[in-house]
Structure 1
């Protein structure tokens, strides 16, 4: 996130007296017998860049459409800035929405696309030109003002759509997979541009995405969804480092999961028995974890060390054979097959030239990690 959102002062969700801009209270949405949103409670605060993250069909777009006014809740209440949105049509809400397709008018210039909504609003005509120029400066498209959409790039069209959505000064901007049509490099560049624009305007952004990396990059907080429910709502670092379930751990980022039985919990450390005759593995105990039930050790590949030599007196070490190697430029991923059939991935930064790499296919290797590198979760 940008520096202002990294600042520990920006954490209104931690403050008892903070008033949310958006409240979902017991919100359920049904389509016949199908429950798309299942009894959700959620607060989103002013100036947040909030991400709804989940696979297709998890309910994130339905949640956004209810915020926009395109769908009504079957049960519960949605309030924006203290006003109950029940029965309030989309055009009467202080909300704007930016679609994946951008929906620009092909026959209008960049300038006229941005001005389109303003000309149909109650803004005095004398102020429209100044507002459009302000938006053009914000998205750095002043020299493209007289071009039409087909004469500019995909990333520039995305910025035109963003400028048009922000022109009327909404309290809340909804972004539905806004970067899906861009190639990876441009998408990454545009993510930082979005963050910068959100910070400058102070507008609350809510983005729907299935791209974990995108959510982790732009969001102040992330709501991970599954089958119409909120599985975890937290900051990106907490979602990544302290997932509250195997589902979240497995969905967000790359991870190794070793399933077994929780043998002991001692303070912040838990032990899991995972294979017959093998020493138990240790990890940070998830909140509320208790011994005696099934569990899983979840560990990120970059936290695992690979070596041809025995790492010595460490609790977490396993031996296996290198089954595959993926060279990814700045790092390499090693897939290691353990004798009992478990496959683990580890990642190493390529600080040396590939020709000097000391580990090759079919090599016998040791994998090791610290006691707190992974997290033991209930199954």
Structure 2
């Protein structure tokens, strides 16, 4: 049985659950969101990613109903949500602080919203028990929030948010209070719960690794604009701009000028250095300023000059970052440009192949680097 790939954004017949249509949000003279149009589909785990002040939280607050657009419309299931107050929307929000009631048990915290909606007692019991099972909290049902761990409190907040079966769940930096190891475990739990419930999740985060791990698509934001919204692999491998390439993951960016050559372009970048070569779908004029973005894991480091690659540069090792599973070498070229190369540490290191001040060769294939406009 072939499994269908989930990518409704590539289906012209798919109807978005959420539509931002020319949305602008101003606070006085400050434009927080600048004329943005965006579609988010049912069952998506969508991430809004960017540095502080880029507008991602404002996007979320407009979805929740805490802010109204200055211009444009936001549709949920085809309905303009501007006139609908936050408590009447089919939207729930999970805050970074979790906002649990300290005097209520885990069970009572999850049931709180259902009781306020005057749901029948038997239906509340059934729903809360389902949420406890979903978030693996059954044995903690009678405990108070201070009697459970941070990761468990995070799951209680999630269970409470999902108990009312919202069409859309908003998560504001939901893993910010957890330590690194627990964050990683919880990311996979979040994905599992999202898949099981089929609820559309929109997460706001400044943690690129988190966004790339959990999301079906990521919108990278800068100064109130979405600069690229795409799947994590395309954001990483095919960034649309220098900003996105630089923001996501580790990268070396080389400035130069492009000249058409064969199926791609030659890039002149420094006096006394051989030109580099890259293949791309983009079109550049002769002598046009460009940026070449190359990921460290795509750069090979060798003692001898490789014969099979035309992108080959000689330099001296300036720094070495040992990260257990990988080592990153910062190699300086004679003109001062630093290029990063990464090697996997598949064996226990007794002695490094290369060390500081060693002269080495860096090389990569014709298609490994991404050529971007100035």
On whether the aligned pair clears a TM of 0.5, the verdict is: yes
SS of the counterpart of 2:202?
strand
What are structure 2's unaligned runs of at least 5 residues?
none
Is 1:80 the equivalent of 2:56?
Answer: no
Which residue, 190, 198, 213 being the options, matches 1:217? 213
**What CA distance in whole angstroms lies between the structure 2 residues aligned with 1:41 and 1:159?**
32
Does structure 2 conserve the Cα–Cα contact (< 8 Å) formed by 1:272 and 1:376? Answer: no
Does structure 2 conserve the Cα–Cα contact (< 8 Å) formed by 1:48 and 1:205? Answer: yes
- Indicate the residue corresponding to 1:293 in structure 2: 288
SS of the counterpart of 1:356?
coil
Does structure 2 conserve the Cα–Cα contact (< 8 Å) formed by 1:95 and 1:174? Answer: yes
- Indicate the residue corresponding to 2:256 in structure 1: 260
- Indicate the residue corresponding to 2:235 in structure 1: 239
Does structure 2 conserve the Cα–Cα contact (< 8 Å) formed by 1:175 and 1:208? Answer: yes
TM (normalized to structure 1)?
0.96
Is 1:187 the equivalent of 2:183?
Answer: yes
TM (normalized to structure 2)?
0.97
- Indicate the residue corresponding to 2:117 in structure 1: 121
Task: Note the 1:206-355 alignment, pairs <5 A.
Answer: 206-264=202-260, 266-267=262-263, 269-285=264-280, 287-355=282-350
Residue 282 of structure 1, CA deviation: 1.7
**What CA distance in whole angstroms lies between the structure 2 residues aligned with 1:248 and 1:8?**
29
In 2 relative to 1, CA 98–291 (structure 1 residues): closer, same or farther, beyond 3 Å? farther
SS of the counterpart of 1:373?
coil
- RMSD over equivalenced CA pairs, Å: 1.3
**What CA distance in whole angstroms lies between the structure 2 residues aligned with 1:363 and 1:147?**
59
Is 1:58 the equivalent of 2:54?
Answer: yes
Does structure 2 conserve the Cα–Cα contact (< 8 Å) formed by 1:286 and 1:375? Answer: no
**What CA distance in whole angstroms lies between the structure 1 residues aligned with 2:12 and 2:100?**
42
SS of the counterpart of 2:350?
helix
SS of the counterpart of 1:354?
coil
Deviations 1:150-205 (A, max 9, x none): 11111100000000000000000000000011111100000000000000000000
Does structure 2 conserve the Cα–Cα contact (< 8 Å) formed by 1:270 and 1:283? Answer: yes
SS of the counterpart of 2:324?
coil
Residue 309 of structure 1, CA deviation: 1.1
Worse-matched range after superposition: 71-80 or 276-285: 276-285
Does structure 2 conserve the Cα–Cα contact (< 8 Å) formed by 1:286 and 1:376? Answer: no
How many pairs were matched up?
373
Does structure 2 conserve the Cα–Cα contact (< 8 Å) formed by 1:48 and 1:204? Answer: yes
Which residue, 59, 62, 67 being the options, matches 1:71? 67
SS of the counterpart of 1:355?
coil
**What CA distance in whole angstroms lies between the structure 2 residues aligned with 1:289 and 1:188?**
41
Does structure 1 conserve the Cα–Cα contact (< 8 Å) formed by 2:260 and 2:284? Answer: no
What are structure 1's unaligned runs of at least 5 residues?
none
In 2 relative to 1, CA 376–197 (structure 1 residues): closer, same or farther, beyond 3 Å? same
- Indicate the residue corresponding to 1:38 in structure 2: 34
